[in-house]
Amino acid sequence: MVFQIDINCDMGESFGEYSIGNDEEVIKHISSANVACGFHGGDPLVMRQTIRLAKSNNVAVGAHPGFPDLLGFGRRNMNLTREEARNYVTYQVGALRAFCEAEDVQLQHVKPHGALYNMAADNPDLARAIIESVKDFHPEPILMVLANSKMQKIAEEAGLKIAKEAFADRAYNTDGTLVSRKVPGAVISDVHQINDRVVKIVKESKTFSVDNKIVDLGKVETICVHGDNPEAAKIASSMGMALKTQGIIVRPIAEFV
């Protein structure tokens, strides 16, 4: 049996004079880039540069829309109406897609950022807003959703092409939800442990919960590497080698979803 997986990472979150992340290094070790769209991070110049960077590294490009909260980097919950959420996402994805076309790159996917991603995973109204926005585009990009979440179910019912995502460097609760970042131990930093987890997720669709129980995530198509981790490049590189050793092929989701 052949296993294949996509590795995605947030990219292009710099803004004007402000630089964040280590995109040039990390991009060598991933297959899909989630490019910020100017609301929580990113700006028009950074967007175009990041798409060019992805293209020259044969990395697929996705839109990474967030809350309109640059000051909070899109990580603070905001209470939007469904209509607001839908239109904010369409605006951002549309802007990003224009740069894709200008650079002759296909828009592969949409992955909501930060608090928008986390809230939508569990909030059907917000999930539907994002789904409506994805349907605003033709052809529809693939939507990345948290594996095993309410949003996954809703997106499947809506007939969307989705990629189920799991985190190799985040602790899970027994019910398959992510342990809050505020809880100590929520983020796993040991590279060996991350590598063991990613292989288990890909091959068995399973991971260990914080209390050491088996959590069934269902089939997972993409693994997130956190670009804001200063060790991101090292983690992604090591993960790539671990996967290769196990005969697992790393490639953009559009090639196998």
Minimum CB separation from a copy of itself for residue 222, in Å? 24
Neighbours of 48 (CB within 10 A): 18
- Residue 67 or residue 167: which is nearer to a copy of itself going by CB? 67
Q: Are 148 and 217 in contact (CB under 8 A)?
A: yes
Neighbours of 69 (CB within 10 A): 18
Q: Do residues 257 and 142 touch, judged by C-beta distance below 8 A?
A: yes
- Decide if 147 contacts 201 (C-beta within 8 A): no
Question: Furthest-apart CA pair in the chain: how many Å?
Answer: 49
Q: Taking CB under 8 A as the rule, does residue 97 contact a copy of itself?
A: yes
Positive or negative, the CA dihedral 132, 134, 138, 142 is: negative
| Cβ neighbours of 91 (radius 10 Å) | 16
Residue 167 DSSP symbol = E
Phi, psi of 205 (to 5 degrees): 60, 30
Please state the closest distance from residue 109 (CB atom) to a copy of itself, in A: 16
9 binding a copy of itself? (CB under 8 A)? no
Question: Does residue number 117 form part of the binding site for a copy of itself (CB under 8 A)?
Answer: no
Calpha distance 18→42 (Å, rounded): 10
By C-beta, is 74 or 240 nearer to a copy of itself?
74
How many residues lie near a copy of itself (CB under 8 A)? 46
Q: Is 183 an interacting residue with respect to a copy of itself (CB under 8 A)?
A: no
The reply to whether 123 sits near a copy of itself by the rule CB under 8 A is no
What six digits make up the tokens of 228?
């804001």
Q: Taking CB under 8 A as the rule, does residue 176 contact a copy of itself? A: no
Residue 105 makes contact with a copy of itself by CB under 8 A: no
Could you say whether residue 131 binds a copy of itself (CB under 8 A)? no
34-53 footprint of a copy of itself as x/- string (CB under 8 A): ----x--x-xxx-xx-----
Tokens of 119: 């809230």
Q: Of 16 and 185, which has the nearer Cβ to a copy of itself?
A: 16
Residues 52-91 that bind a copy of itself (CB under 8 A): 68-73, 75-80, 83-84, 87-88, 90-91
Task: Between 138 and 192, name the residue whose CB sits nearer to a copy of itself.
Answer: 138
Site residues for a copy of itself per CB under 8 A? 15-20, 38, 41, 43-45, 47-48, 68-73, 75-80, 83-84, 87-88, 90-99, 101-102, 115, 136-138, 228
